[in-house]
Amino acid sequence: MSRVDFYHLQHHKLEDVLPKLLEKAYATGKKIVVRVGNEERVEFLNSLLWTYDEQSFLPHGSKKDGSAEIQPIWLTHENDIPNDALFLFLVDGADANIEEFSKFERVFNIFDGNSPQSLEKSRALWRELKQHEITLFYWQQDSTGSWQQKG
């Protein structure tokens, strides 16, 4: 049974939040796929993860880098899972179908709460997943950027 965590961004951008969440996920030793809305953003995030913090290191790659099967963190805009990942991050409006959720131990849906379109899309996904045997968690940022679990 999968667990899906919804991360409702309000006070920080994805670029500020994603590296920190990936650090925590990577620390579990599980492989990760980050599915992004489009190819341009894949390469933007690929560069960001190399430079976001001089004190941190997140080994990752994308199609441009190759060797997908050995990458602990794989960035893509497609539905591929070439590294046998157990964690899936959905960002920038990326989609996954209900069958895909069962392939992962955890799915992290990170969405912009300041975008009405993104907010409604995440609400629709929540409603759909509630109808299946999937454990759901909802996290919202407070004014300091800390995550607070909601109902």
Q: What per-residue confidence (pLDDT) applies to 142?
A: 85
Q: Does the structure show a pLDDT above 70 at 1?
A: no
Residues 136-145, buried b or exposed e (16+ Cβ, 10 A)? Answer: bebbbbeeee
pLDDT at 98 over 80: yes
The Cβ of residue 7 has, within 10 Å, a number of other Cβ atoms equal to 23
Residue 151 above 80 pLDDT?
Answer: no
Side chain identity, residue 7:
Y
Q: Which domains does the chain have, with CATH numbers?
A: 3-150 (3.40.50.10110)
**pLDDT tens digit sequence for 18-63:** 999 999 999 999 999 999 999 999 999 999 999 998 888 899 999 9
DSSP 8-state class, residue 19: H
